[in-house]
Amino acid sequence: MEFQSAAPRTFDRIYVAAGCKVNSGMGVKLGARCDSVGALIVDQKHCTTVPGLYAAGDVVSDLHQLCVAEAHGAVAATSIHRFLPRNFR
């Protein structure tokens, strides 16, 4: 970080604002709708607007945190499991 003055500075805390480019292009190419920032629109089970296409993490949320992505992934995985046809033999 550059400051115009070389004078020392003291901070109580620092928070990194890393920013993120939403890489939802594949979902969009498959027909999924996205919001104004490019995040894929999903329902509560993380299904996009294309039936059978699920999304999780940074492509659906502005909360760029690992724990959020993991939670999305758990919900999406359970939803995918329930979406697939049963294969009992």
Nearest to 73 by CA among 45, 52, 48: 45
Instruction: Tell me the CATH class for 25-83.
Output: alpha beta
Q: List the domain boundaries for the chain.
A: 25-83
Distance from C-alpha of 82 to C-alpha of 63, rounded to nearest angstrom = 26
pLDDT band at 9 (very low <50, low <70, confident <90, very high): confident
The pTM assigned to this predicted structure is: 0.73
pLDDT, tens digit, 9 for 90 and up, residues 41-75: 999 999 999 999 999 998 998 888 889 999 999 99
